[in-house]
Amino acid sequence: MNSVVDQPQELSPHLQTRHSGHRVPRSGMAIFVFLGVVQSIIFFAHWVVYQTWTSFRGAADFGGVTDLRIALALLSMSFVTASVLSRSYSNFLVNSFYKVASVWMGLLNFLVVASVVCWLLAAGAAIAGSSGIMPQVLLVMFGLAGGATVYGVINARMIRIRKIQVRLENLPKNWRGRIAALVSDIHVGPVNAVGFMRRVVSRIAAAQPEIVFIAGDFYDGTKVDAMALASPWENLSTPLGTYFVTGNHEEFSDPKPFLDAISGAGIRVLSNEKINVDGMQIAGINDRDLADPGNLRMLLQSLELNRDQPSVLLAHTPGRVPIAEQEGISLQLSGHTHGGQVFPFTWFTERIFRQFTYGLTQFGSMNVFTSYGVGTWGPPLRVGTHPEIVLIEFVGS
């Protein structure tokens, strides 16, 4: 090997033709239907909170039923409206509106949980023949919802450093004891701006890793100054480089502006390709190509992995793990799940991704690590999870 980093493994002409183009944006009708479904769910959540408050306490605190209805109706449309605006505009007013609407969505989540608890307690009280305490219980539960929201906002800003060891077969001696930093789901946009990015880069630099992996969702997918948000990475220097693979948020529309900004900051974008870094094979598969099992298998086979050397696969979504294991991957690094980010979505996420929701898992001969990520999407809260940068120490088997 003439250099620490070899040239990327070329795809076959068929796969180059099939996968070199950018993701086709969703049709207007599909987006309209999606937004309609989301808005309907949000309307229902507000209706639940309204029914709970008026049933157990009345609406006098808000100037009457009409005022309460108007306030909740406006709030129920805030997040979808802010999300649509943020796709086309990036300025102080739009970003501020998005932040407020996002925090409200976090509070709404806990108000719904509090409402469900209130109705369950009311049912129990009715069975016991007592219902006079419900107004006080309602205030306590809604107060706890507000407290959980405040905690979630603070917790989401407190970046942790997690350290793990990964044992790999056939690990070269020069890789034993080396430290890699893994960061995913930064989601820079209206909420997490360039200041947050500087904090992330600063924490990574302080850890002095020899190589850095970024497992997708660098951006939130909104309209931003992509170059400015990526610029803090220009100041990060690592012996073996920094490598990035796309997440679903980069692929909401044409990812080229995002990828150009990331490359311009000195980060190597791995787009369905493999490189050899000082005896370690590092591959990256675009998030859009992970969903189809046939496509993923063809892509991995086209990379012609050497099974006598260890390999790291950057794959934003921790799915299709059996295929990666069958094709000889030693370690898959993913994000995407956020661990559910906020209770009770933490529970639902575990039902979907199971053992790959978070942490280090052994699957056959392959290791899989899924990170909580360092940023947030939607509500800028974390309750039941935490933001993290992961330091991976490579150990020989």
Q: Write the pLDDT tens digit of every residue in 182-232.
A: 999 999 999 999 999 999 999 999 999 999 999 999 999 899 999 999 999
Distance CA 144, CA 54 (A): 18
Does one domain contain both 126 and 221?
A: no
Of 109, 127, 155, the position where a domain reaches its end is 155
DSSP H/E element including 277: strand 273-277
Higher-confidence position of 156 and 26: 156
pLDDT band for 8, please (50, 70, 90 cuts): low
pLDDT given for residue 11 in this prediction: 45
Q: Express as a percent the part of the chain with pLDDT over 70.
A: 90
Q: Do 146 and 216 belong to one domain?
A: no
How does the average pLDDT of the chain come out, rounded?
A: 90
What DSSP assignment string belongs to 95-134?
A: HHHHHHHHHHHHHHHHHHHHHHHHHHHHHHHHHHT--TTH
Q: pLDDT by residue (tens digit) across 126-182?
A: 777 776 667 889 999 999 999 999 999 999 999 999 999 999 999 999 999 999 999
Q: Look at residue 350 and tell me if it is in a domain.
A: yes
Same domain, 99 and 181: no
In a domain, 10, yes or no: no
| pLDDT tier for residue 290 given thresholds of 50, 70 and 90 | very high
Q: Give the CATH number for residue 181.
A: 3.60.21.10
* Tokens at 91, concatenated: 């300025």
Q: What percentage of the chain reaches a pLDDT higher than 90?
A: 79
Q: 294 vs 213, 248, 299, CA distance in Å? A: 26, 19, 9
Confirm whether 3 is domain-assigned.
Answer: no
Is residue 23's pLDDT more than 70? no
Residue 66 belongs to domain spanning = 28-155
Q: Specify the pLDDT at position 20.
A: 37
Same domain, 78 and 117: yes
Helix 65-76 and helix 78-88, axial crossing angle in degrees, nearest 10: 30
Number of domains in the chain: 2
Query: Which pLDDT value is given to residue 343?
Result: 95
Tokens of 37: 């479904």
Can you spell out the DSSP letters for 144-204?
Answer: HHHHHHHHHHHHTT--EEEEEEEEETT--GGGTT-EEEEE----BTTTB-HHHHHHHHHHH
- Give the pLDDT confidence of 254-282 residue by residue, as tens digits: 889 999 999 999 999 999 999 999 999 99
Indicate whether 198 and 261 sit together in one domain: yes
Q: How far apart are the C-alpha atoms of 233 and 197, rounded to whole Å?
A: 8
The residue out of 122, 155, 188 marking a domain boundary is 155
In a domain, 20, yes or no: no
Asked if 232 and 197 count as a contact pair (C-beta separation under 8 A), the reply is yes
* Residues 144 and 166 placed together within one structural domain of the fold: no
Let me know whether 117 and 173 are in one domain.
no
- Reading the block at residue 161, the tokens are 């450093």
pLDDT at 16: 39
- Examine the domain organization and report whether 359 and 385 are in the same domain: yes
Residue 16 lies in a domain: no
Q: What is the pTM of this model?
A: 0.88
Convert the pLDDT of each residue in 316-329 to its tens digit. Answer: 999 899 999 999 99
Q: Are residues 380 and 292 part of one domain?
A: yes
Domain membership of residue 6 (yes or no) is no
- Examine residue 242 and state whether it is found in any structural domain, yes or no: yes
Note whether 33 and 139 are same-domain residues: yes
Phi and psi torsions of 207, nearest 5° = -80, -15
Residue type at 215? A
pLDDT class of 57 with cuts at 50, 70, 90: confident
- d(CA 203, CA 197) in angstroms, rounded, equals 10
Answer with the residue of higher pLDDT: 159 or 36. Answer: 159
- 69 assigned to some structural domain: yes
Same domain, 59 and 99: yes
Three-class SS state of 56? helix
Query: How far, CA to CA in Å, does 253 sit from each of 15, 86, 154, 183, 338?
Result: 21, 14, 31, 23, 22
Q: What is the CA radius of gyration of the chain?
A: 23
- Is the same domain home to 232 and 298? yes
For 309-358, write each residue's pLDDT tens digit: 999 999 999 989 999 999 999 999 999 999 999 999 999 999 999 999 99
